[in-house]
Amino acid sequence: MKVWAVLLLFAVANAKHEQYQGWKSYFVKPFNTVQLQVLGSVVEKYGIDFLSNPAVERNGLALVKPELHEDFIKSLRNHGIAYKIHAEDVKAQLDIDDELMEKRRRKSSGMKNGTIPLDNYLELEEIYDYIDYIAEQYPDLVTIISPGNSFEGRPLKYLKISTTNFEDKNKPIILIDAGFFGRDWITPSIVLYALHNLTQSDMLHDYDWILIPVANPDGYKYSFTNDRFWIKTRSTDQHLLSIVCPGVNVNRNFDFFWNTIGTSNTPCADNYAGSKPLSEKETFLLNDSLGEFISRVVLDISLHSYGSLILFPWGHDGSLSNHAFALQSVGVSIADTIYANSLPDFPRYIVGNSALVTGIETSGTGIDYAHMLGIPLTFNLRLPGIEEGTEGFQLDPEYIEQLAKETWAGIVVGARRAAELFGNTRN
């Protein structure tokens, strides 16, 4: 009896990640902008999924399905692009990630009366429990707003944090979001650390804060239960094919050069832009609910994983906005601060225009849209990820706390600089 139970458990555990049987992952390193552009077109042509975008002389990590191995490698060879296998068997590496998390879960005693849970990647419920706890503990500072529900009916949530209940219109607002993409599991942890720190530090005197811990809860949940690499929402009402291929890419769904480049019209693609701008409840409700604050926001940081990049507009054509100098300068301040607080093994952040740094043009992104609405400083901050020689697809959970602290240190400096530069012009 017991043996059967064990065997059954084993079978269930191994049935996970079945859809990635036969997939391989590759480190790919372009040495100049020409090779970077070539990689961009390979992505376009084959729909290769870069878990981490390559930059010049910086490894990207490509996930390649079995039927594309040959063509993908051939394209790289034809253009002399350096590559190296990361995982011969993507499913096996995903199982390693699971084991690491499971091991830590057994060691951890769970959330102890609201201790900040930074020792592991967090389930959606754990994230919501923590913010509820903090909002209860600090009712004068922290308010949870739910502008409505996700497509699958989960509450969308963001936090307003202020010593003056958002009533002092002279205070600049700092906006931080996480969890646009289901699979970006490390990003909500950074927001939870920010929340924790804001209740303890002096960063509330001069600024109001809006934190979005998980912008796309359905996608986040689905990446835990069904598909580790899931990016999109889970909507099924966008296209005839949405029933078989649900979901829209949140970061292609905003109303700025919507669906013009770096997007797809088929819902089966990861970069499907939706049936119209703000078609998703996750984007529409956010846009609707945050509208009244936009004119006071001086800094908007959208947290993603991964690649150690700080990217800014415009993404659709690589041109520079009127605020390009401030974007570059504040981006470098954030990067330098993170570096000064970082571990020696983590790569240094690259700062720049998103299309120029990654070689991939993208339309309808959150940061381009927010910048178009008038927020002077908008960044897509891609946290550090795995390096050559490491196993699995996510950073060992033991580094989460370190990343949260160093990233927060960078955000604090970014907030101060943003307020110096734009605090008087934005209210």
Ligand X SMILES: *[C@@H]1O[C@H](CO)[C@@H](O)[C@H](O)[C@H]1NC(C)=O
Catalog residues that contact ligand X under the rule CB under 6 A: 112-113, 197, 200-201, 278, 287-288, 291, 294, 373, 408-409, 412
Nearer to ligand X, 93 or 279 (CB): 279
Strand partners, 299: 174, 377
State the CB neighbour count (10 A cutoff) for residue 169: 10
- Using Cβ positions, the residue closest to ligand X within the complex turns out to be 291
Nearer to ligand X, 43 or 404 (CB): 404
Structural tokens at position 273: 């832009």
- In angstroms, give the least distance from the CB of 292 to ligand X: 8
* 416 contact partners, CB below 8 Å, separation of at least 6: none
Nearer to ligand X, 200 or 322 (CB): 200
- Distance between CA atoms of residues 178 and 182, nearest Å: 10
Is 266 exposed, middle or buried, given 0-12, 13-18 or 19+ CB atoms closer than 10 A?
Answer: exposed
- In angstroms, give the least distance from the CB of 364 to ligand X: 13
Backbone angles phi, psi at 274, to 5 degrees: 95, 175
- In angstroms, give the least distance from the CB of 409 to ligand X: 4
Nearer to ligand X, 204 or 261 (CB): 204
State the CB neighbour count (10 A cutoff) for residue 249: 26
* 353 contact partners, CB below 8 Å, separation of at least 6: 311, 312, 313, 314, 315, 318, 320, 324
Nearer to ligand X, 65 or 405 (CB): 405
Nearer to ligand X, 180 or 229 (CB): 180
Using DSSP's 3-state secondary structure scheme, residue 207 falls into: coil
- In angstroms, give the least distance from the CB of 139 to ligand X: 17
User: First CA to last CA across the chain, in angstroms?
Assistant: 69
- In angstroms, give the least distance from the CB of 291 to ligand X: 3
- In angstroms, give the least distance from the CB of 316 to ligand X: 18
